[in-house]
Structure 1
Amino acid sequence: MPRLNTYSAPRSADVVVIGAGINGLAITREAAARGLHVVMIDRDDIAARTSAISTRLIHGGLKYLPRMEIPLVFESIRERNILLTTAPHLVLPYPMLIPFARWNKTPGWLMSCGLIVHDVLAIGKKLPLNRIVFSGRLKRDWPSVAKAGVKWGGLFQDAHVPVTERFATEIAIDADRHGATILTHTPVVSLLREGGRVAGVVYRDRVTGEERELRAPLVVNAAGPWVDSVLDLAGPHARKIGPTKGSHLVVDTFPGAPDTCIFFDSPQDGRPMFVLPWWDGRFMIGTTDLPYDGSIEDIAIDDDEVAYLLHSVNTIIPEAGLAPADVLWSYSGVRPLPYVADLKDPSSVSRDSEIIVHDGDASGLMTIIGGKYTTHRALGEQTLRKIEKALGMPREASPTREARFPGAPAETVARFRAEFIARSALPERSAARLADVYGALARPIEMLAASDPALAEVIDEESGAIAAEVLHAVREEGAVTLEDILLRRTVIALGSDVGLAAAPRAAAVLVAYAGWTPEQADAELARYRDSVRRFMPRALRAGTAPSGML
């Protein structure tokens, strides 16, 4: 299995990518697979900020039809098909009911036409056809929605990636396998200039604290909401990003909870919203879409957003009766959308991406605006075309259109899962978890657990996660901090208490096996506790977290 290293001291590259979110990952993977020496650099971890706050859909573009963004619809359908094939252990079919409620902005007959048109545009798709859901089936399969007075609706066949954290990690592993250099927790402090153009970056070494020069003929600014901060390093410029705030709630199952996603218009303002069956029996509710001009460093949901989201769900599912006390935790962030002056309706801003090739004093710099999980690979390919042109390289077919993710099993996912559980010496719950979270990359974790009985011990009762996962995250997947480990490698933090109960046990594993000192473990535990406060977990609000993590 390829080992992901996130620390080195490169001096030169063909391309430097600033930002390890989904855009930066896609560009790095694409260019590295093309044979270029790419260095991706981020002041935080892989997909740690904006890419960590998505609705986790691999969306076929239905919501772009009303705006007649047909190229984006086609692109979304194509990329969804590719991901269902290349990452079948991570990207799963995800049907969603669209209730044709009386308060909808778009009438039901027009939505029905949209579902039919989408099927026509998606001929050859890997999912079933969309369907109109009439009253009888609605009452049978979605009785809680029918009780809201909804008479009919549509069933849209879509896809989702419930664990985007592993999705991003596997892209990084694949990029590393193709020779990319990845530097995390490494801030860029300035841009290098030579001959009147951008010629690389200066970054701060995360171990020594020294400033190092990294030369490259091309620098790609894929910093998401921080795009303008990177451009500030190049000099005065027009504002590029107009972020909008999005927030989600996480709750346990509730009265009337649906078996499928519900994609509906909020009765308050008509904004598209979702009730999403998600992970380990929990649900996500989201999202808000608000103009935002505050600090983008530490963003948390506010009481008005909580009230808005809960009211919307309680209207479409009257028996839900959800209240703020039912919220396990929440997450918030900003979308890196194009700046629009005096923006009144954030939903009117296109979700398509843009690649800017700078000239003049900023020659040698490219900037990425927008982007999303569904079309990340296409954005990487489009950026590579511009990189090829800038470097005078011949154009070649994209190497990622058919390349499977590192964790994609050779057999079907169902067969792999069944065989892995059957032959594993681990308890069935832990073996099933490894197969579900890591796919084929579960095998080395299982081998590590077999090497030492202590590493096979469960450290998180809720998920069944074992100690070997924590050690594997540090040794093989480039994790540096406790947050990297719990939130973005093992995904233990997606549990009801955001990993607060498991954190001390994970730290103890690292003291015993990874060379952490007790002082380092204590410091990491304190940082982790402070970091997850942005999720406003009920365990902290109610004081039920372990005493050392309050």
Structure 2
Amino acid sequence: MTSLPNQSETYDVIIIGGGIVGSGIARDCAQRGLKVALFEREDYGYGTTSRSTRLIHGGLRYLEMLDFGLVRQDLKERETLLKIAPHRVQPLPFILPFYRCSLFYRLKVRVGMLLYDLLSYDKTLPNHRYLTRTETLEMEQGLQAKGLQGAAMYYDCQAAFPERLCLDNILSAQRDGAVVFNHTEIVDTLRGTEGGVCGVRVRNRLTGEEPEFRGRLIINATGAWVDRLLKGWKTPLPPQLRLTKGIHFAAPLANKNALVLFSKKDKRLMFVIPWLGYSWIGTTDTDFDTNLDTVHALRDEIAYLQETVSEYLPQNNWSEVYFTNAGVRALVRDNRPGASESAVSRKHGVLLHTHGDGLEGMITILGGKLTAYRDIAEEVVNRACELLQHRVEGRTGTIPLPGGERNDLKNLKAEVGRAGSEYGLTQAQTDYLVSLYGSEAYAILNRIEYDASLAKPLSPEYPDIRAQVVHAIEAEQAQTLNDFLLRRSLLGFTKDQGEQAIPAILEMMAVPLKWEAERVAEERSAALAHIALTRQHREVVTKSDMNT
């Protein structure tokens, strides 16, 4: 959406930030009948939302930190997301192998597993169980056999494409009346007669428009960018966040189940996750204080992960890294002296600004996890409703997200497959459409029914078809090439990251979005620049580096 709405209107709530928390807040506000506008500087799900391990989990390690409230919240939300977003969130078995572990350690793990089951007393997933050495090697044949004693197995969930989970919330908010804008940044806040915040001036980064919007309440949900915005607004508040960086990389598939491993260098927990036909390895946790917009994986960070995973899965070629991913966590600042990055709580905070900090009329969300986004949003909107004297209960935990109306995905895939075969689509293509759109895959087929040429593949190398591009532009606010490659399709996560499809996508986007040749070249350059950023390791990380 490039045209901005009537500026004379006053909104109940203006949301700054279109990541998973901001989009969840927009959905909740709109469902409760509040008049809401959301502005996102880049694209929905662009920031930390798209840079995670892609898990919906309670966080087994937080039990060791005695953070029972956080674990319970996340396990409860895991169950909620299984119900409202079955097309996005699926169960995933995890294996925690034991290598030369003491009896005390194994007893500690046993207690932790029991607590994990107890704290998820309302779950639909299986309880944990223990595997013998033989059973462990049968389930994961690539594991190092030397020193293996057995394993603990438990269940959590995977969100393979959190970018579209974020988009689902945006689409839901829109359908309930919210106005939402990507590629629109906040230039400044507007002030009322008593000095409080009463609106924002924004700039559409694609058109250059700079309108003003007034709101009764402003919600700052900018994640890792919070402190940067607060500083720009000249508030006397000290920094509220501790930023830490985490990276991941995609390598040849080496495991069937998710593996929970510990670095022998610093004992830090990491995961090896089966994802889109890869092993997805991560993550690191190091303090970060440089440019949020150019964060990327560094040579030593990749080598750190490679060194650990090669010890547990020695048969795989871990020097073959297809692409990397790097993001920044926003953690509520912990002022304990000497607290390590991993020791900082993942609990979120809600800051209600006052006249004293110069931002009265604004709420800022600090921190938060992907798993708990809906619950965090509900808490914030409850607070907003109190301030606005709007007494309506939230319903986001019971109403399915767009595409999540069907939880029988096997039957849905079969039905969409039969319907798609009439247009010449293969079962693999229609399965892919269901993975992207859930029950709304029929919207893609409807476009093909209107124009049969839209069934044509974007490239023989991928299952993606032309109808997806039209749908992304007309129904999902895709306004750049990267919007489509990275957050409307899975092309950006193929081995060549969608490079072969770029010409066809540009051809299809240029006409409806009125791109001249210069803009087409800029879009191509931006996409290739992103790909290059995720491939920097190819020139510097080799197998010899891992052995030095």
1:251-298 CA distance string (max 9 Å, x none): 122xxx11100012112111110001001x112100000011222120
SS at the partner of 1:187? strand
What's the counterpart of residue 463 of structure 1?
A: 462
Residue 380 of structure 1 is matched in structure 2 by 377
Rounded to whole Å, the distance in 2 between the matches of 1:511 and 1:147 is 55
Shift of the 343–488 alpha-carbon distance from structure 1 to 2, 3 Å rule, reads farther
In the alignment, what sits opposite 1:109? 107
Q: Given residue 157 of structure 1, which amino acid in structure 2 is its aligned partner?
A: Y
Q: What is the CA–CA distance in structure 1 between the aligned matches of 2:343 and 2:58, rounded to whole Å?
A: 19
Describe the superposition over 1:303-345 as per-residue Cα deviations: whole angstroms up to 9, x where unpaired.
Answer: 101110111110111222411xx10000101101122456551
Note the C-alpha offset of 1:221: 1.0
Partner in structure 1 of residue 172 of structure 2: 174
The equivalent of 1:249 in structure 2 is 249
Q: Partner of 2:242: helix, strand, or coil?
A: coil
Q: What amino acid sits opposite 2:273 in the alignment? A: L
SS in 1 for 2:91: strand
Aligned to 1:503: 502
- Deviation track 1:384-418 (CA, whole Å, cap 9, x = no partner) reads 11101211222x43210101011114361111111
> Corresponding residue for 1:548?
none
CA distance in 2, matches of 1:391, 1:353: 23
Q: Higher mean Cα deviation, 453-462 or 355-364?
A: 453-462
- Other-structure match for 1:347: 342
CA gap 1:119/1:453 in 2 versus in 1, 3 angstroms: same
How far apart are residue 247 of structure 1 and its match?
0.3
After TM superposition, give the deviation of residue 537 of structure 1 in Å.
6.4
- Partners of 2:173 and 2:539 in 1: CA distance: 37
CA contact (8 A) 2:15 2:221 kept: yes
Q: Is the 8 A contact 2:299 2:537 kept in 1?
A: no
The equivalent of 1:338 in structure 2 is 332
In structure 1, what is the Cα distance between the partners aligned to 2:539 and 2:26?
38
1:93 touches 1:160 (CA, 8 Å); kept in 2? yes
CA deviation vs aligned residue, 1:51-107 (integer Å, no higher than 9, x gap): 110111000232221111111111111111111111111100011101123479982
With the length of structure 1 as denominator, give the TM-score of the two structures: 0.92
Distance in 1 (alpha carbons) for counterparts of 2:473 and 2:484: 7
Counterpart residue identity of residue 381, structure 1: E
Q: Is residue 2:417 matched to residue 1:421?
A: yes
Q: Distance in 2 between matches of 1:285 and 1:208?
A: 39
Match of 1:363 in 2: 360
Aligned with residue 288 of structure 1, among 259, 279, 284: 284
Amino acid at match of 1:311: E
Give the whole-Å Cα distance in 1 for the aligned partners of 2:338 and 2:473.
43
Alpha carbons 1:148, 1:317 under 8 Å: kept:
no
Classify 1:25/1:6 alpha carbon distance in 2 versus 1 (closer, same or farther; 3 Å). Answer: farther
Distance 1:173 1:272, change over 3 A: same
Shift of 1:352: 1.0
Report which stretch shifted further, 60-69 or 330-339.
60-69
Which stretch of the first structure deviates more once superposed, 75-84 or 518-527? 518-527
| Partner SS, residue 36 of structure 1 | coil
Q: Is the 8 A contact 1:328 1:538 kept in 2?
A: no
Q: 1:264 to 1:200 in 2, by over 3 A?
A: same
2:149 alignment partner, SS class: coil
Please say if residues 190 and 201 of structure 1, whose CA atoms lie closer than 8 Å, have aligned partners that are also in contact. yes
Q: Is the Cα–Cα contact under 8 Å of residues 6 and 181 in structure 1 kept in the other structure? A: no
- Structure 1 CA distance for aligned equivalents of residues 22 and 234 of structure 2: 19
Any gaps of 5 or more consecutive residues in structure 1? 543-550
What does residue 210 of structure 1 align with? Answer: 209
Match of 1:149 in 2: 147
1:477 match: 476
Aligned length: 531
Report which stretch shifted further, 346-355 or 358-367.
358-367
CA distance in 2, matches of 1:452, 1:128: 46
Q: Indicate how the Cα distance of structure 1 residues 246 and 10 shifts in structure 2: closer, same or farther if over 3 A, else same.
A: farther
In 1: Cα distance, 2:94 partner to 2:53 partner:
13
- Give percent identity, aligned residues only: 32
Partner of 1:450: 449
Q: In terms of mean alpha carbon deviation, does 193-202 or 142-151 score higher?
A: 142-151
Q: How well do the aligned residues superpose, as a CA RMSD in angstroms?
A: 2.1
Give the 5 Å matches for 1:162-201: 162-194=160-192, 195-201=194-200
SS at the partner of 2:486? helix
* TM-aligned CA distance change 1:137 to 1:105, over 3 Å: closer
| Distance in 2, Cα, partners of 1:163 & 1:111 | 30
What is the deviation of 1:440?
1.4
| 1:221 match | 220
C-alpha distance in structure 1 between counterparts of 2:133 and 2:526, whole Å: 52
The aligned counterpart of 1:545 is: none
Retained in 1: the 8 A contact 2:252–2:317?
A: no
Match of 1:308 among 286, 304, 310: 304
Equivalent pair of 2:32/2:393 in contact (CA under 8 Å): no
SS at match of 2:113: helix
Secondary structure at 2:208 match in 1: coil
Q: Give 2:316's aligned residue.
A: 320
Check 1:503–1:74 CA distance in 2 against 1; reply closer, same or farther (3 A cut): same
Show CA shifts across 1:470-527 (max 9, x none).
1110111001000001110122111111222211121122246654444432221122
How far apart in 2 are the matches of 1:105 and 1:479? 54
Matches of 2:431 and 2:86, distance apart in 1? 16
Alpha-carbon spacing, 1:506–1:86, altered in 2? closer, same or farther (3 Å)? same
Is the Cα–Cα contact under 8 Å of residues 429 and 464 in structure 1 kept in the other structure?
A: yes
Q: Secondary structure at the match of 1:153?
A: strand
Q: Deviations over 1:360-387 (max 9, x none)?
A: 1221111111112110000011001110
1:23 to 14, 21, 24: 21
Q: Retained in 2: the 8 A contact 1:300–1:536? A: no
3-state SS of 2:404 partner: coil
Structure 2, unmatched stretches of 5+, are: 542-548
AA aligned opposite 2:270: M
Q: Which residue in 2 is equivalent to 1:51?
A: 49
Q: What is the identity, as a one-letter code, of the residue corresponding to 1:408?
A: G
Find 1:37's aligned residue among 14, 35, 38: 35
